[in-house]
Every structure is written in structure tokens, then in C-alpha cells.
Amino acid sequence: EPEVTQTPSHQVTQMGQEVILRCVPISNHLYFYWYRQILGQKVEFLVSFYNNEISEKSEIFDDQFSVERPDGSNFTLKIRSTKLEDSAMYFCASESRYQETQYFGPGTRLLVL
């Protein structure tokens, strides 16, 4: 069964460093999302992406964040200068053109020291 994959599974970084979180969505899916979950809290929407552009972004998704789909398969989330409060689990999700269900990857746990 096709699945969404994410790398790395864990990342530890120093405050102020750049991180890139990678996702490989399910093949032929057209809609892509990033969410995050701070430990013990609810899952929050960050950004959605369709037709090679951002569809919607939340207040969390400020100028330090960017997304890219560089090669038609990978979908990346970049944080340019990490802050302590960026520590969270980051989930990628993808959805087919029928938009029936979002399928989530296993997540990347980011720890900013």
C-alpha cells in the first residue's frame, strides 16, 4: 500500500540553524500539507500546497518557513533560522485529486537546543 515517507525521523539542531525536513508524498497525489504537533498539544496546520504554489498558510508559517517541491516527488519544509519554540513533531500529508482523505507520514521530531 502506498505511503507517505518522511526524513529524517529525528533531528536535533542548534537555535539559529537552518533545517530542511523532507517528505515523499504518495505518487499521483496533488495536494500537499505540513502540520506540526508540539509535545502534548493538538495538531496544527502550517501550510498547504497545490499546483506548485502555496494554497494557504497559517499564522505560524512566517518568513522563516518555506516549502518547495523541487523535483516532482519530494516536498520539503525549510526553517531558515530555528527557534526553541520550533521544537515539535512535523507531519507531512498528501491527498489525491479527489480530496477524500489526507494521508500522513510518520513525522519528523525536531528538537531545537
Partner 1 sequence: GNSVTQMEGPVTLSEEAFLTINCTYTATGYPSLFWYVQYPGEGLQLLLKATKADDKGSNKGFEATYRKETTSFHLEKGSVQVSDSAVYFCALQPPLFFQGAQKLVFGQGTRLTINP
Task: Compute, in degrees rounded to 10, the torsion defined by CA atoms 69, 21, 56, 36.
Answer: 160
Report the residue from 22, 50, 74, 80 that binds partner 1 according to the rule CB under 8 A. Answer: 50
- Give the nearest distance from C-beta 112 to partner 1 in angstroms: 20
Task: Give the distance from CA 19 to its chain's centroid.
Answer: 12
- Give the nearest distance from C-beta 78 to partner 1 in angstroms: 19
By CB under 8 A, tell whether 45 contacts partner 1.
yes
By CB under 8 A, tell whether 48 contacts partner 1.
yes
Q: How far is residue 88 from each of residues 26, 30, 85, measured CA to CA in Å?
A: 23, 26, 8
Alpha-helix residue ranges (DSSP H) falling in the chain? none
| Closer residue to partner 1, CB minimum distance, 33 or 87 | 33
By CB under 8 A, tell whether 65 contacts partner 1.
no
SS3 84: helix
By CB under 8 A, tell whether 42 contacts partner 1.
yes
| Closer residue to partner 1, CB minimum distance, 2 or 16 | 2
- Provide the CB-side half-sphere exposure for 79 (13 A, CA): 25
Q: Which residues bind partner 1 (CB under 8 A)?
A: 31-33, 35, 41-45, 48-50, 55-56, 91, 93, 95, 99-107
